[in-house]
Amino acid sequence: MAENVVEIEGLVKRYGELTALDHLTLEIKEGEVFGLLGPNGSGKTTTINCLLSLLSYDKGSIRIFGREMSPTAYDIKKDIGVIMQNVAVFEELTVQENIDYFCGLYITDKQKKRQCVEEAIKFVGLEDFRKFRPKKLSGGLLRRLNIACGIAHKPKLIILDEPTVAVDPQSRNKILEGIEELNRNGATVIYTSHYMEEVEQICTRIAIMDRGRKIAEGTKEELKAMTKNTETINVALRELPDEVLNEIGALSHIYSAEYTDGILTAACSGGRHNLIRVLEVLQKHDLHIGQVTTVQPTLNDVFLEITGKALRDKED
Ligand SMILES: Nc1ncnc2c1ncn2[C@@H]1O[C@H](COP(=O)(O)OP(=O)(O)OP(=O)(O)O)[C@@H](O)[C@H]1O
């Protein structure tokens, strides 16, 4: 069985009256891409800052690589790569000099360092920008530089805190593919985000956080199996008389049926052939059927069911 790379036990962090982390317990195993998913303010960054001993905490314990983490645990820190939400690079250094600087904090052998820097530049696709200073880079390229600085020394544990916020789709894909590649090359990854699509795409196991607590944990399949909803059927209809809507709502395995803005939405819980049975009812009443879609449950549905609110705001 894979070893635990990170063990967080009963972590409590308070900011005055506010409890930012409320008895958080997490175990992250070697080789995982572990996703910390939660809305803004749920405690993801606080967790990472405590994990890195950048923040003191009120209660609990943190072990990394089987050893107790502390501000002076340099033997642990040298095997960790951190990419924080806010880009942290030197404005006066070029892309290559920045990566060289951060890599040099861990690797002193000149030849090895040069090779690591070169590999990091290639890895994030900044070959054509190596002589650029950060202010000449777009937001996406700047993020990639930030990542290169964090991973050049080839850490065993890589922590990324919302690395794709405000990033263009091309850089976002490059970042996500890069994380998967780092993992294939042996790194354990902790990835925080409030974008459930990203977490679903790359994470092998996910903890969902809300108000400093872990409210659910598992693979995405395990998490989705926690919801009552197994599929949602949407049918565009010009009209839907109430008695037909009621008939659909009364079908077995359909636990809610609504008609708003010309769309019938039927939420199913288990059962088979739900779509066919819904369409049969509509056809029997000779209704004009428009576009039909079925949607599988998302991590947002899990969150919604447990907390009664959506993971992120629509405009986010
Ligand atoms: N230095 C601080 N002083 C007081 N409260 C803080 C401080 N830092 C964070 N908080 C509060 O702690 C809670 C958790 O914040 P945290 O930044 O860890 O959440 P998050 O999940 O990372 O959110 P985001 O996605 O916005 O970064 C929030 O309510 C936040 O307002």
Mean pLDDT value across residues 278-288: 95
CATH number for the region 231-296 comes to 3.30.70.100
Radius of gyration, alpha carbons of the chain: 24
How far is the C-alpha of 207 from the C-alpha of 35, rounded, in Å? 6
CA of 288 from ligand 1 middle (Å) equals 50
Residue whose CA is closest, atom 30 of ligand 1? Answer: 41
CA of 43 from ligand 1 middle (Å) equals 6
Cross-strand partners of 35: 191, 206
* pLDDT confidence tier of residue 313, bands split at 50, 70 and 90: low
Residue whose CA is closest, atom 26 of ligand 1? Answer: 40
Q: What percent of the chain has pLDDT over 70?
A: 98
- With a Cβ cut-off of 6 Å, ligand 1 is lined by 15, 18, 20, 38, 40-46, 194
Mean pLDDT value across residues 308-313: 74
Q: Residue 69 pLDDT > 70, yes or no?
A: yes
- Displacement of CA 112 from its chain's centroid (Å): 33
> Which superfamily, per CATH, for 1-79+156-171+181-227?
P-loop containing nucleotide triphosphate hydrolases (3.40.50.300)
CA of 212 from ligand 1 middle (Å) equals 9
Q: Residue 134 pLDDT > 90, yes or no?
A: yes
Pocket test for ligand 1, best of 14, 24, 42, 194 (most atoms within 8 A of CB): 42
How far is the C-alpha of 273 from the C-alpha of 258, rounded, in Å? 19
Mean pLDDT value across residues 268-285: 93
Residue whose CA is closest, atom 6 of ligand 1? Answer: 15
Structure tokens at 258: 């609504």
Closest atom of ligand 1 to CA, residue 47:
18
CA of 309 from ligand 1 middle (Å) equals 19
Closest atom of ligand 1 to CA, residue 85:
27
How far is the C-alpha of 275 from the C-alpha of 234, rounded, in Å? 9
Closest atom of ligand 1 to CA, residue 162:
25
pLDDT at site 196? 86
CA of 46 from ligand 1 middle (Å) equals 6
Residue whose CA is closest, atom 5 of ligand 1? Answer: 15
* 1-79+156-171+181-227 and 231-296 agree in CATH topology: no
How far is the C-alpha of 217 from the C-alpha of 208, rounded, in Å? 6
Q: Residue 315 pLDDT > 50, yes or no?
A: no
DSSP the chain: -PPEEEEEEEEEEEETTEEEEEEEEEEEETT-EEEEE--TTSSHHHHHHHHTTSS--SEEEEEETTEE--TT-HHHHTTEEEE-SS----TTS-HHHHHHHHHHTT---HHHHHHHHHHHHHHHT-GGGTT--GGGS-HHHHHHHHHHHHHTT--SEEEEESTTTT--HHHHHHHHHHHHHHHHTT-EEEEEES-HHHHHHH-SEEEEEETTEEEEEE-HHHHHTTSS-SEEEEEEES---HHHHHHHHTSTTEEEEEEETTEEEEEE-S-S-HHHHHHHHHHHTT--EEEEEEE---HHHHHHHHHSS-SS-TT-
- List, for residues 158-190, the tens digit of each pLDDT value: 999 988 887 888 888 888 998 999 999 999 999
Give me the residue spans of the domains in the chain: 1-79+156-171+181-227, 94-154, 231-296
* Mean model confidence pLDDT for the chain: 92
How far is the C-alpha of 254 from the C-alpha of 266, rounded, in Å? 7
Apex 111 CA angle, 109 and 114, nearest 5:
105
User: What sign results for the dihedral spanned by CA atoms 274, 275, 276, 281?
Assistant: positive
Q: Residue 314 pLDDT > 80, yes or no?
A: no
- List, for residues 84-130, the tens digit of each pLDDT value: 888 889 999 999 999 999 999 999 899 999 999 999 999 899 999 99
Q: Residue 278 pLDDT > 50, yes or no?
A: yes
How far is the C-alpha of 316 from the C-alpha of 314, rounded, in Å? 5
CA of 20 from ligand 1 middle (Å) equals 7
Find the helix or strand (DSSP H, E) in which 110 lies: helix 110-124
Residue whose CA is closest, atom 3 of ligand 1? Answer: 15
How far is the C-alpha of 4 from the C-alpha of 69, rounded, in Å? 14
- List, for residues 19-63, the tens digit of each pLDDT value: 999 999 999 999 999 999 998 899 999 999 999 999 999 999 999
pLDDT at site 169? 85
Q: How many Cα neighbours within 13 Å face the side chain of 299?
A: 30
Mean pLDDT value across residues 215-242: 93
Predicted TM-score (pTM) of this structure: 0.86
CA of 47 from ligand 1 middle (Å) equals 10
* φ/ψ of residue 78, rounded to 5: -65, -20
